Amino acid sequence: MPPANTQRFLIIADGQFGPMTSKTANCCIRYMPERVVGVFDRTHAGKTVQQVLGFGGALPVVGDFERGLALGATAVLIGIAPMGGRLPAEWRGWLRTAIERGLEIWSGLHTFIGDDPELGALARERGVRIFDARKPPLNLPVADGRAAEVDAYVVHTVGSDCNVGKMTVQVELRNALIERGHRTRFVATGQTGIFIEGWGVAVDAVVADFIAGAAEWLVLEAAKDADIILVEGQGSLIHPGYSGVTLGLLHGCCPDALILCHQATRQYIGDYHGREPWVKIPPLAELVDIYERAAAPVRPTKVIGICLNTFDLSEARARDAVTRAAEATGLPATDPVRFDAAPLVDAIVQGALAAK
Amino acid sequence: MPPANTQRFLIIADGQFGPMTSKTANCCIRYMPERVVGVFDRTHAGKTVQQVLGFGGALPVVGDFERGLALGATAVLIGIAPMGGRLPAEWRGWLRTAIERGLEIWSGLHTFIGDDPELGALARERGVRIFDARKPPLNLPVADGRAAEVDAYVVHTVGSDCNVGKMTVQVELRNALIERGHRTRFVATGQTGIFIEGWGVAVDAVVADFIAGAAEWLVLEAAKDADIILVEGQGSLIHPGYSGVTLGLLHGCCPDALILCHQATRQYIGDYHGREPWVKIPPLAELVDIYERAAAPVRPTKVIGICLNTFDLSEARARDAVTRAAEATGLPATDPVRFDAAPLVDAIVQGALAAK
């Protein structure tokens, strides 16, 4: 396990800071606000984070990178994920400035900053750490079902699409389960979760043959000191670009239970900003069926709850959406960020007891 | 496109040469026999390839690496794929010997020989080419459905398991379709197909986020000069280790039609040599359903034929298995290697005509 995270971050989210466009930035602000000094985004410069996201309080958004560093940052965290994960050319200057001033770089991009000839060399020369959270561990196994053999109760989040709350709900559930006295571990499978937890594997960054193997290895590691393991999901089985990661993760972690996540207002797979949407999200009951059927040949599992993201709905409409989701699936449902995580926590605790 | 393959290969299959254990070696022998001088395997030394595989004629199996090179090899081809794809330590000496004598190395291992500090440096020093067939191209896209827009008719092979004939049938169909005058391209997605075709991407070796993107890119490239595109499948949707690659490939290539491949006698997913088998292969009609359902949310497609591998059955039993597969699914079925590819060729030609 790595040392505790004691950095204070300036988060880069230039041009993309917003409720639905800067997932990594937003989750870091939500789950480790005490470690964030500000956000760099020229579009929203001068506002507070609260004004842009609806949470985050008085944290400032700055439009000048050097002014951002001067807020007391000890590290720069790349808080947006461009399509494909590559390093935009313009950022090079900002990162060089940060490294020259001795600030760590935390990155979840596919392009590893540490491997960049210029930035990597500069960091080594200055003795500055670059943390490429997506860099996979060496010697991952090909999965062979060993995750099914752990004593811990494994809960995996799956979703209708990317960016609907699969990581967020696991962090909320981890906190709630620990509060109730359960030895619980959150298994991060994406860069944001790794930033928050300080440990994990970005499964979308491993060589394709080892997707399931990475999930298996994470579960085996987490089982060493936990009775409940919460495995972060990725993508969606109906996502044209990322479905392979989703299925490998589902088969590799051999979950005892699934929690299905969905953004209540979303109708189409939404990552294709430049193109017409074309993959329609089916009704929740059909999604439950798609996931249970996909898992079944390797290891049968059941969806035990629905996690709705209702951030863009009025409270009345949000409560209505939760009620309808529960009715449509016959399962406990909630928005654990907005309302109460208890329905899902109860479902997990009951499931874990029944599995003993 | 690369230059035509003019090498003469000594194939390394040490300790694993056999009908079901050396897929790459066997396919290279079957589809480019004129380019193979012999096989290195100490277990079967002194036999002919015919005696070990049931085809391949008088090609010798040698138990001494240097004697193998002396058969007239201009290149060494690594013809077996260890679990996980890594380079066994013992092979290092053989490869060094080959490079020192100026022989090319063709490898489909996950560990790139060209990146090996010792072997890569030696090859550069001697001016010897190392062809790491699994090394992915740079700058693959994240898939966004563009493969659905090509005019060509795209046929993708899917299977019950690894190593059931998904590549072999495409090579047979490619040959048969070209013979009938159709502009046809075989799209290789694994190292063996790449060895045979001289072009392709090993999709199991790309970073997980780009599985579907690699498939999309291959289809767009192949569509430039073909009316029928045959995309090699990988793994299986019910394979615990490799299912992610299978689904990414299925969604990325947006096929107009699927051909389902199965080894008639196989009952369980078979890659887990050291462990009890546990994933039972469902009936063919259920597999058809699994694949069509998995594809449907992104782009609906249909299985149009069944390809059976009957190598371990008597002719009478093989013909019976083909008949039963056709009856169980209501689809044309054949073993295109043993019998006639025509039922599948006809299904493709009819499908392509109907799609116009």
For every residue of B305-327, DSSP letters joined together read EEEEE-TTS-HHHHHHHHHHHHH
Residue A112 phi/psi, 5-degree rounding, is -80, 120
SS3 call for B186: strand
- Domain covering A146-355, topology: Rossmann fold (3.40.50)
Shortest Cα–Cα distance, A87 to chain B (Å): 12
Query: What whole-number percentage of chain B has pLDDT above 90?
Result: 83
B contact set with A (CB within 8 A)? 83-85, 110, 141-145, 203-209, 211-213, 237-249, 251-252, 272, 275, 278-280, 282, 290, 293-294, 297-298
Positive or negative: CA dihedral A178, A184, A189, A191:
positive
Residue with tokens 């935390």: A106
Determine whether the interchain pair A294/B237 forms a contact, defined as Cβ–Cβ distance below 8 Å: yes
Say yes or no to pLDDT of A2 above 80. no
Shortest Cα–Cα distance, A207 to chain B (Å): 5
Query: What whole-number percentage of chain A has pLDDT above 90?
Result: 83
pLDDT tens profile A199-226: 899 999 999 999 999 999 999 999 999 9
- In chain B, the residue whose alpha carbon lies closest to the alpha carbon of A245 is B244
Q: Which of B134, B204, B209, B279 to mutate to test the interface with A (most CBs of A within 10 A)?
A: B209
Residue span(s) of chain A under CATH 3.40.50.300 come to 146-355
- In chain B, the residue whose alpha carbon lies closest to the alpha carbon of A299 is B279
Determine whether the interchain pair B83/A142 forms a contact, defined as Cβ–Cβ distance below 8 Å: yes
Least confident span in A106-110, A276-280, B69-73: A276-280
B272's tokens: 């887990």
User: Looking at residue B87, what is its pLDDT?
Assistant: 74
DSSP secondary structure of A201-243? --GGGSBGGGHHHHHHHHHHHHTTS-SEEEEPP-S-TT-TTTH
pLDDT tens profile A110-136: 789 999 999 999 999 999 999 999 999
A237, A240, A278 ranked by CB distance to B143: nearest:
A240
Residue span(s) of chain B under CATH 3.40.50.720 come to 9-132
pLDDT tens profile B290-317: 999 999 999 999 999 999 999 999 999 9
Q: In Å, what is the CA distance from B88 to each residue of A204, B16, B73?
A: 27, 13, 22
Q: Give the CATH number of domain B9-132; options: 3.40.190.10, 3.40.50.720, 3.30.540.10, 3.30.1330.40.
A: 3.40.50.720
User: Looking at residue A322, what is its pLDDT?
Assistant: 98
Q: What is the pTM of this model?
A: 0.88
Cβ neighbours of B212 in A, within 8 Å:
240-244
Whether this model's ipTM surpasses 0.85 comes out as: yes
DSSP secondary structure of B145-156? SGGGG-SSEEEE
Cβ–Cβ < 8 Å for A193, A231: no
